[in-house]
Amino acid sequence: MTRDAAIARAEAYFDSGAFRDDLARRVAMPTESQNPERAPVLAEYIETEMKPAFEALGFTCQTLSEGNWPFLLAERIEDPARPTVLGYGHGDVVRGLDEDWNEGLSPWRMTERDGRWYGRGVADNKGQHSINIGAIKAVLETRGGLGFNAKYLIEMGEERISPGLRELAVTHKDLFRADVLIASDGPRLSAARPTVFLGSRGAVSFDVWVEAREGGHHSGNWGGLLSDPAIELAHALASITSPTGEIRIAEWRPQDIPDDVRRVLADCDIETGAGDPEIDPDWGEPGLTPAEKLFAWCSFAILAFEAGNPKTPVGAIPPRAWARCQLRFVVGIDAEDILPALRRHFDRRGFSHVRIAQTSDAVFHATRLDPAHPWVNWTVDSIVRTTGKRPAILPNLGASLPNDIFSDVLALPTVWVPHSYPGCSQHAPNEHLPLVIAREGLALMAGIYWDLGEAGVPGQHQ
C-alpha cells in the first residue's frame, strides 16, 4: 500500500491493454453535440459508460439535466473532515468530419499508428477523463480507499459552450461544494512537458458586415459610382489592429501583465514540432515573449470573410460583405464592454454603417488563479515527485473553457492538468493522442490522487 504501488498499478492498466479497450469503446460512440441527431447518444454515453465506470469505484451517481442537456454527478464521500475534490470532463465531441480523415482512419474507430491513437475524442476529452478515472481506480485498488472525498462532473455539451452548466451550478451549488477543482482538458505546453494551467482566456465571437443595397451591379456600368461593401468592411476590420496584429482598441488591451504571471511564463518556451506552423516572431503585441502573447494578452482573429460568390466570381459589385470575428481575452478585460467598445471604435473612424452582432454562442469568461496559490505549488510538487520533471505553469489556457463556472460561481481554486499536446489536431480530422502522454498521465494523476489522501494538503492537517 504505497504511492509507488498505486502508480505502478496505473501504468499496468495501460500496459495490459485494458485502458486502450476502455477508451476505444468510448471513442466508438459518436457523441457529436453539434449534431442534433446525436442527442440519444449523449445520454447513452452517461448511462452506459460513465455511470458503470464510477459505480464500480464505489461512487454514487445521479443524472441531472438542464435545458435538455444531460449531466452526470458522481461522488464518493469517505470522511467529511478530509478535503473534497471536484473533477470534470466532457463526453461530447465536435463533428467527426468522417470524409476528411487520412486513409485508413475513422473518427469512430480508435486506431494506433506511429505511437499515437487516432479517433474523435481521444484528446478532447474522452481520453483525458478516462485517464483520470483510471488513476482513481488505481489508488482505490492500492489503498482500499481514496483518503479524500471525490466528486466528478461529466457534461455532454462543452463543444456547444456548455449550455445549462452555469444554471446547473447556480441551482445545485451544495451538490458541487468542494475545496478545489482538479480536472483535465486542453493541451500541455509541449508533448514532453507536463503542464498545469490555472484558468482560461475568454472568447467572444461576433459578426461584422456591411449591407450596401439589394443585389449586385455590373462593375463595368457602376464601378466607381457605387460603394464596394467588401472594401469598406476590409478597411473597418483593418482599423482594429496594426498591419502586424497589434490590437488598437484600448478596451481590448490589458493594462499590464502581473509579475507572478510574467514569472511563471518566463519558464515557458513555445516549442513547435513536425507539422506545426512556424511562429511569426513579429506578429502581435510588440515587446512580449511568445508565451506572454499567447497566455497573458488578447488576440483578435478574422475567422471568415465573404463577399460576392467566392466559388464563381462575377464582374459585379457585391451588395454585401460579411466577416466572422473572434476576440480571445484575458483577465482584466470587461467582457460586457467588448462589442460596445468595437462600436465606439468604428463610429470614431467613420464606420458607423458597419454592423456588429454577437453570434448565438455564449461568451467564455476569462479566469486565472494566482500562480502563487497553495494548490498550485502542491500540484506541481506532486507531479515532480512522480515524473522527475518540473511542469510548466500557465496562468491560463490560451484557448477557452467554462472555467468561470467553477472559479466564480462555485468559488473554487481551479487547477487543470492536461493530457494532450498542441499538435493533437483537436477539433480537426486526424485527432490523436500520443501513447506516451496517456501513460504518463495515468502515472502522474495516480500520484496526485494518492497525495490527496496524505497529510499536507492545502488547508488540511496544518
Is 156 found in the same domain as 72?
yes
Residue 127 within any structural domain of the chain = yes
Is 341 found in the same domain as 263?
yes
Number of domains in the chain: 2
Residue 111 within any structural domain of the chain = yes
Contact 206, 346 (CB under 8 A): no
Residue 289 within any structural domain of the chain = yes
Q: Which pLDDT value is given to residue 397?
A: 94
Is 226 found in the same domain as 187?
no
Is 220 found in the same domain as 176?
no
Residue 273 within any structural domain of the chain = no
Residue 310 within any structural domain of the chain = yes
Task: List the domain range (segments joined by +) for residue 308.
Answer: 202-267+284-358
Mean pLDDT of 12-39: 97
pTM of the model: 0.93
Neighbours of 282 (CB within 10 A): 7
Residue 461 within any structural domain of the chain = no
Is 141 found in the same domain as 255?
no
Is 167 found in the same domain as 311?
no
Residues 346-384: tens digit of each pLDDT: 999 999 999 999 997 678 899 999 999 999 999 999 999
User: What gap in Å lies between CA 136 and CA 139, rounded to an integer?
Assistant: 5
Is 296 found in the same domain as 206?
yes
Q: Which of 222-231, 270-279, 345-354, 389-398 is the least confident region?
A: 270-279
Q: Which pLDDT value is given to residue 53?
A: 98
Contact 226, 355 (CB under 8 A): no
Q: Which pLDDT value is given to residue 461?
A: 45
User: Which residues lie below 8 Å from residue 112, measured CB to CB, with a gap of 6+?
Assistant: 20, 118, 435
Residue 459 within any structural domain of the chain = no
User: What gap in Å lies between CA 460 and CA 462, rounded to an integer?
Assistant: 5
End-of-domain residue from the set 358, 375, 400 = 358
Is 54 found in the same domain as 141?
yes
Mean pLDDT of 31-40: 96
Is 289 found in the same domain as 161?
no
Is 317 found in the same domain as 219?
yes
Contact 43, 155 (CB under 8 A): no
Residues 259-282: tens digit of each pLDDT: 999 999 999 999 877 778 899 999
Domain CATH code at residue 31: 3.40.630.10
How crowded is the C-beta side of 36, counted as CA atoms within 13 Å? 1
Residues 91-107: tens digit of each pLDDT: 999 999 999 999 999 99
End-of-domain residue from the set 301, 325, 358 = 358
End-of-domain residue from the set 358, 379, 399 = 358
Domain CATH code at residue 301: 3.30.70.360
Is 227 found in the same domain as 80?
no
User: What gap in Å lies between CA 433 and CA 441, rounded to an integer?
Assistant: 11
Is 386 found in the same domain as 329?
no
